[in-house]
Structure formats: C-alpha cells, structure tokens
Amino acid sequence: MSEDSIRDLVRWADGRAGPPPPLSADLAGRVLLRRRRRTRIRVTLGAGLCLAVVALGGAGLFERSKDARIVAEQPSESGVPRRPPMHPAAVAELTRLGVEADLHTRIAAGMSAAREQQLRLRDLRHRLVADDPYEQAQRQVDRAARIILCRAESLHRDHGLPASAVAAYRRVVELFPANPLAEVARRRLSELENSNGETL
C-alpha cells in the first residue's frame, strides 16, 4: 500500500465519518461554569485537607496522652481514682489547633463566596457595558485604533517598512490621542526614532 493510497484511504474514511457531532449551545458560558465549579471544588478540598491534617494532629496528641491517662485512672493507694493528668501544653496545643481549623474553614468559605461574587459582578459589568450605546461606539473606536496599530506593527516587523510604520503610528496618535493605544503607538514611535533616527 503506497503513501498516496494511505492518504486517500484516510481521507475517504474522514469523509465517510461525516461532520463532527454538534456541540450544545453556549460553549463559552459552559466553559466558564466548569471553571467556577472546579475552583469551588479545589477550595473545598483545600479546606477539607486542612481539617484532616488538624484532626490527625489532634488524634496523635490524644493517642500519646491516652497511655498516661490509663495509668492515671487506676485507683491510687487510697482507692480514689486519680484525676486524668492532661499536660497543659497538650491542652493548649489542642485548643490552638481547634481554633486554627475553624479559622481555615471560615477563610476557605469566605474565599469561595468572594470569588463567586467577583465573577458574578464581572459578568454583570460586561452585560451592562454591552448594552450601552456609548460603550459600543467606544469599542468601535478602540477597534479602529487597534487595527491601525496592528497594521503598523505588521509593516515594521513583517514587511520591514519602518517609514510606513512610523506614519501609521502617527496616525494612531493623531486620530485617537486619548485612547490607551495611542500611548503604545507613542512608545513604538520613540523606539523606532531612537533606533533609526538618522534614516527617518
């Protein structure tokens, strides 16, 4: 079987397989949703892990003090059970770990809630911006500035025409002086003029 026949066969099979199955609607939205869900799971797992570590630490301390407690609970010579001697350092450590675990849980929950709120706010802000005619016009202006800037970069980098690039950068500066891209154009102009000062 020759190389061509393999290529033809694979292409034939690709044609026969037909177009890819359709995707469900709003792919972009579903990807964002998936990311949010993953973030939430990660935060929850992190908090769970913290708790588990703290619980294991506590259990270790408890085990260590158990033997001492068994000995202590045996009746003394007078017949009265001894008071279980809990080392003050162990008590303090357990209390500290408990407080720390609570704190971690609260921080994790707070972070998760704040992150969700932030994402919701960002979505709302973008939705608001999308409906505002002024913002729409502003976006058109941005787009025009960006296109000229891209053209200038392309003239310079891809086609090696610094003089035309300088003209295009100047055009951005003149037409859109208040636009942030004008600042980029100014920077590029000064770079170009510095490097090729004598020729331009």
CB 109 within 8 A of CB 47: yes
**Stretch 35-74 residues interacting with other proteins (CB under 8 A):** 35, 38
Q: 81 pairs with which residues across the strands?
A: 75
DSSP tag of 81: B
Among 17, 80, 89, 178, which residue interacts with other proteins (rule: CB under 8 A)? 17
Among 67, 89, 126, 199, which residue interacts with other proteins (rule: CB under 8 A)? 126
Q: What is the CA radius of gyration of the chain?
A: 34
Number of Cβ atoms within 10 Å of the Cβ of 40: 14
48/61 Cα distance (integer angstroms): 20
Angle between helices 88-131 and 133-157 (to 10 degrees): 90
Asked if residue 14 binds other proteins (CB under 8 A), the reply is yes
- Nearest Cα neighbor of 188 from 159, 160, 171, 165 is 165
Asked if residue 160 binds other proteins (CB under 8 A), the reply is no
Among 70, 147, 163, 200, which residue interacts with other proteins (rule: CB under 8 A)? 147
Among 68, 144, 154, 186, which residue interacts with other proteins (rule: CB under 8 A)? 154
Asked if residue 88 binds other proteins (CB under 8 A), the reply is no
Q: Which residue has the tokens 């935060």?
A: 43
Q: Which residue has the tokens 């044609």?
A: 15
125/133 Cα distance (integer angstroms): 14
Among 113, 150, 163, 167, which residue interacts with other proteins (rule: CB under 8 A)? 150
Cβ-based nearer residue to other proteins, 35 or 64: 35
Rounded to a whole number of angstroms, the minimum distance from the CB of residue 21 to other proteins is 5
87/133 Cα distance (integer angstroms): 71
Rounded to a whole number of angstroms, the minimum distance from the CB of residue 178 to other proteins is 19
Among 70, 71, 128, 129, which residue interacts with other proteins (rule: CB under 8 A)? 129
By CB under 8 A, the count of residues binding other proteins is 39
Contacts to other proteins by CB under 8 A? 1, 3, 6-7, 9-17, 19-21, 23-24, 27-28, 30-32, 34-35, 38, 122-123, 126, 129-130, 146-147, 150-151, 153-154, 157-158
